[in-house]
Each structure stands twice: as C-alpha cells, then as structure tokens.
C-alpha cells in the first residue's frame, strides 16, 4: 500500500468515526500541516521520510504495542497544546 492510500484511508476512517465529511483544509489543520501539503500527501506528490519511518517502525509492533505508542503520543500532544493555550 502506498502512503497516499494510507492517508486517504485514514481520512475516510476519521470521517466514518465522526459521521461527517471532513474537508482537506480541516484535516490539515487538525494534523498540523498546511492544506497544500496535506493535498500533496493525498496525491502522492509529497511523502515525508519521517512519516515512512514511523509507519515502518509501527509495522514492527503488535496491535497492543501500537495502541500504547499512539496513546502515549496523544497524551503528550494534548499536554503541549494545553501549555500553548495557557
């Protein structure tokens, strides 16, 4: 599976989870990249090496370990966003 397919699939899963359509602009804001960059990710024009490296690392883990890594990252990300708003 190419990176662009993974990004499109994840975008669709978020839409299904939230039961609504999410624009590229909104998703780009949510993930912290410029809208044009996000569109390039979806088209396969731009595929950052760090993203590929992270996916390759996650592929080495089992499902429980992946969930743990993502939850830890999410908690850290939420803390930093809260600090920025203080």
pLDDT digit string, tens, across residues 25-49: 999 999 889 999 999 999 989 888 8
CB 47 within 8 A of CB 4: yes
Position with higher pLDDT, 6 vs 78: 6
pLDDT for 83 equals 56
CB 58 within 8 A of CB 69: yes
pLDDT for 82 equals 55
Q: Quote the distance between the C-alpha of residue 18 and its chain's center.
A: 15
In this prediction the pTM is 0.72
CB 31 within 8 A of CB 48: no
Instruction: Quote the tokens at residue 6.
Output: 């993974």
Q: Which of 10, 17, 14, 4 is nearest to 47 (CA)?
A: 4
| Distance of alpha carbon 30 from alpha carbon 72, whole angstroms | 18
| pLDDT confidence bin for 73, thresholds 50/70/90 | confident
| pLDDT confidence bin for 59, thresholds 50/70/90 | very high
């Amino acid at each position: 599976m190419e990176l662009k397919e993974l990004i499109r699939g994840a975008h669709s899963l978020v839409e299904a989870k939230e039961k609504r359509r999410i624009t590229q602009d909104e998703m780009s804001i949510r993930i912290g990249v410029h809208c044009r960059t996000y569109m390039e990710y979806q088209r396969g024009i731009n595929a950052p090496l760090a993203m590929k490296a992270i996916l390759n690392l996650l592929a080495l883990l089992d499902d429980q370990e992946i969930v743990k890594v993502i939850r830890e990252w999410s908690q850290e990300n939420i803390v930093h966003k809260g600090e920025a708003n203080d």
